Amino acid sequence: MCTKQNTWMGLRVIYCRFITSMKWRIPCMSFFDKMKKGVSDAGSKAKSLVEVNKFRLNIQSLEAEIQDRYKRIGQAVYQSTSDEIGSEPELDQKTNVSIVQLCQEIRFRQQEITALNKKILELNHQKSCNKCGRLNQLEVKYCSECGHEFTQVVTIDIVAERAATENADFTCSKCQEPFGQNDRFCGKCGASRQ
């Protein structure tokens, strides 16, 4: 029994020395640091994805409200003109006020949808070109499709720039900025891809 206890104590001492040695501790800590960073990155991406989905659900409900307003406008026009089939339709004052109010509600909801779409683009680190509608990265000065100059340049972190560089196929002849796969104009200087 004494030998078993001595053997057990010896293994315990070796195990404790192994755990406390610097050779084991440093790789283990970097592994856990990497794991912790990965979990926090995944958490932030999940949070932004939840926000994007929340905005999209709001957009869908606003679009349904707009369709309801269109339906109510159509019903108001039909009811005011259904008595006068075959003659020129004339809308009474009450119907006109109702239609104008519904149109204002539609415009208000469309503005809300536009604002929500901008928030979604910001969460995805993108912006839309006013001229052609193409989605571009936030940090570019010129549209990669039509060459339109963006008035305000927003910068983002180096990680996103590095990811854009890794996905690039060609570089600009003027500024050496990488082109994306479908880009026709440089996002930095506005030069054509040719």
Mean pLDDT of 33-42: 79
Task: For residues 93 and 47, give the distance between their C-alpha atoms in angstroms, rounded to a whole number.
Answer: 50
Task: For residues 112 and 76, give the distance between their C-alpha atoms in angstroms, rounded to a whole number.
Answer: 25
Task: For residues 192 and 173, give the distance between their C-alpha atoms in angstroms, rounded to a whole number.
Answer: 9
Type of residue numbered 77: V
Has residue 95 got a pLDDT over 70?
yes
Q: Give yes or no for a contact between 168 and 188, defined as CB atoms under 8 angstroms apart.
A: no
Q: Maximum CA pair distance of the chain?
A: 114
pTM: 0.56
Q: How confident is the model at residue 167, as a pLDDT? A: 47
Q: How confident is the model at residue 13, as a pLDDT? A: 67
User: CB burial class (10 A; 0-12, 13-18, 19+) of residue 169?
Assistant: exposed
Average pLDDT in the chain: 77
Mean pLDDT of 136-147: 88
Q: How confident is the model at residue 184, as a pLDDT? A: 76
Q: What share of the chain is helix, strand, coil (3-state, %, to 5)?
A: 65, 5, 30
User: CB burial class (10 A; 0-12, 13-18, 19+) of residue 21?
Assistant: exposed
Has residue 191 got a pLDDT over 70?
yes
Give the tens place of pLDDT for each residue, 98-133: 889 999 999 999 999 999 999 999 888 888 888 898
Task: For residues 85 and 83, give the distance between their C-alpha atoms in angstroms, rounded to a whole number.
Answer: 6
Q: How confident is the model at residue 153, as a pLDDT? A: 46
Lowest mean pLDDT among 55-59, 92-96, 162-166: 162-166
Type of residue numbered 168: A
Radius of gyration of the chain (CA): 31
Q: Give yes or no for a contact between 158 and 146, defined as CB atoms under 8 angstroms apart.
A: no
Give the tens place of pLDDT for each residue, 166-182: 444 567 777 877 777 67
